[in-house]
């Protein structure tokens, strides 16, 4: 199975992945939602979700891509070592990654973003404070693709979704989102 894993964590931003989920559905791409555990969680807009599987149970051979939505306040995830260990583990599987808004932080902290050009919704001051970003590779653009890593600012969620769909060679109607 070549599914897309969509990582869900408390306070994830629903709108940042809304169009991406539509692109995946339109192209009949299987979606597997992944949680830190199997608990219900609530997105930043209040949507309650139950992940399909967990980071402990996901078979990474069944996914070819992983999406990380932003989160309006990720203080509760800064010291979540299970998240970073999981992301490091995924690096062995040649996945396409999509990280939007604050989510590039998770890739950077895991060491997966060090060699790649990226963008993020985090300010220069925030990136400096967090001390995990390679500032030399930062691009002041709404969306950046560097090989198999796609990053975006939260406001660029439509372009992020379209680029992610194209990176996976999916068949979908872009006009739906213009």
CA distances 17 to 68, 115, 163, 172, 176, Å, are: 9, 25, 13, 16, 15
**Averaged over 139-153, what is the pLDDT?**
98
Question: Can you give the residue range of the structural domain that contains 147?
Answer: 3-177
Q: How many domains does the chain have?
A: 1
pLDDT-derived band at 81, boundaries 50, 70, 90: confident
> Alpha-carbon distance 112 to 141, whole Å?
20
Using one digit for the tens of pLDDT, what is the confidence trace for 10-40?
A: 899 999 999 999 999 999 999 999 999 999 9
> Alpha-carbon distance 139 to 33, whole Å?
29
pTM score above 0.85:
yes
Q: Could you give the angle at the alpha carbon of 90 between the alpha carbons of 88 and 92, nearest 5°?
A: 95
Using one digit for the tens of pLDDT, what is the confidence trace for 113-130?
A: 999 999 999 899 999 998
pLDDT-derived band at 79, boundaries 50, 70, 90: low
Return the CATH number at 11: 3.40.50.880
For residue 99, give the nearest of 164, 9, 29, 10 by alpha carbon: 164
């Amino acid at each position: 199975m070549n599914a897309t894993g969509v990582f869900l964590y408390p306070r994830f931003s629903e709108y940042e992945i809304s169009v991406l989920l539509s692109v995946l559905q339109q192209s009949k791409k299987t979606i597997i939602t992944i949680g830190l555990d199997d608990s219900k969680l609530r997105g930043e807009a209040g949507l309650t979700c139950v992940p399909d599987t967990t980071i402990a149970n996901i078979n990474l051979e069944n996914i070819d891509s992983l999406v990380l939505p932003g989160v309006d306040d990720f203080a509760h995830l800064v010291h979540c070592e299970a998240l970073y260990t999981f992301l490091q583990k995924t690096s062995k599987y040649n996945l396409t990654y999509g990280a939007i808004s604050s989510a590039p932080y998770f890739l950077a902290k895991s060491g997966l973003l060090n060699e790649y050009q990226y963008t993020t919704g985090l300010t220069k001051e925030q990136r400096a404070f967090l001390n995990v970003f390679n500032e030399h590779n930062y691009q002041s653009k709404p969306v950046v693709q560097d090989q198999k890593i796609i990053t975006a600012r939260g406001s660029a969620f439509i372009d992020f979704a379209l680029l992610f769909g194209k990176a996976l060679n999916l068949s979908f109607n872009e006009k739906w989102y213009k």
